Amino acid sequence: MQADTVMSERYDSIASLVATGEEAIARVGVVVHPSRDIDRPLGALREWTRRHGVDLVQVPVPSQHREVAEPGNTGECDLLVAIGGDGTGLAAIRAAAAADRPVLGVACGSLGVLTTVPPDGVTHALDRFSQRDWLPRPLPALEVARGDGAGLFALNDIAIVRAGVGQVRATARVDGILFARLAGDGCIVSTPIGSSAYALAAGGPLIAATTDAYLFTPLPTHGGFCPPLVVGADSELQLDTMTGHGGARLEVDGQIADTEVGPLTISFRRAVATVVSFADQEPSLAGLRRRRIIIDSPRILAEDQPVEPRA
């Protein structure tokens, strides 16, 4: 568990800065959605940094072609601000994790769970961050060891998806013990945060955000029975796959990582990244209800709004 120890030390160092008030904001990095309307929050960010004498730079992330500021190094920033949706937030968090920097997510028409600040709340959120009125929220990740390729990590999920005609055949083992052999469209492995995304759409359960566990969810299978499985944080999940002639692809946090899957060993890692949260912000479960990802039964809703009898 050496990797967990290192990640915990990184998180503790950020938390201690908040507690002792030792951090100073000299430079803010920004990551933006490639096409969404971001003028209002970006304008507020520019104005706040100008007024406080803080440098504003744009940090490099994959597939980022929209230029809104001078390029800068993530490691030289005190804070990263992601303006967009969960995809933008994930890109910023992945970049920030390598440099032990916190990320503030600004929602622009997003249904996600990683963007906590509304477009008109940027100035207030930055004021609170600069006054140390914020809480570091640690995010876990999935570490992926590959038999014939470079290791990967995912903050949301890892998916093995068939790329064409033919099925994906997968064997799943937990700590070496056979769980299931399945043939179908593939499978998803998710963090607690990721359990409300692709995995939920595929029929998997929600895992509360603070739970030390991760989730294996099969995509539609050709017969048999393989329920989603919640895997303990200290267990390893081994996946061996074979594909039909149509092939398969490996997706990490929604992006194609490889068109060759191979054997995977997946582990849970605590406190890999840090996002900025506030004590009075909306709880994640309440957000899922507000965005109608969780919807009450029609009978309950009907009882809430009884129909007036006709005259």
What is the reported pLDDT for 290?
84
Instruction: Give the per-residue pLDDT at 115.
Output: 84
Q: Cα–chain-centroid distance for residue 132?
A: 24
101-132 residues labelled b (16+ CB within 10 A) or e (exposed): bbbbbbbbebebbbbbbebebbeebbebbbee
pLDDT at residue 250, as a whole number: 94
pLDDT at 12: 52
Query: Which residue intervals of the chain bear CATH 2.60.200.30?
Result: 140-270
Q: What is the pTM of this model?
A: 0.86
Catalytic residue among 86, 157, 185, 253, which? 86
Low-confidence ranges of the chain (pLDDT < 50): 1-3, 6-8, 11, 16, 19-20, 22
86 given a catalytic annotation: yes
CATH of domain 140-270: 2.60.200.30
Q: Which residue ranges does the chain devote to CATH 3.40.50.10330?
A: 2-139+274-290
In the numeric block, the tokens 């520019």 are attached to: 46
Closest to 184 measured CA to CA, from 234, 226, 214: 226
The domain 2-139+274-290 is classified under which CATH number: 3.40.50.2000, 3.30.70.560, 3.40.50.10330, 3.30.460.80? 3.40.50.10330
pLDDT at 14: 54
Q: How far is it between the farthest Cα atoms of the chain?
A: 74
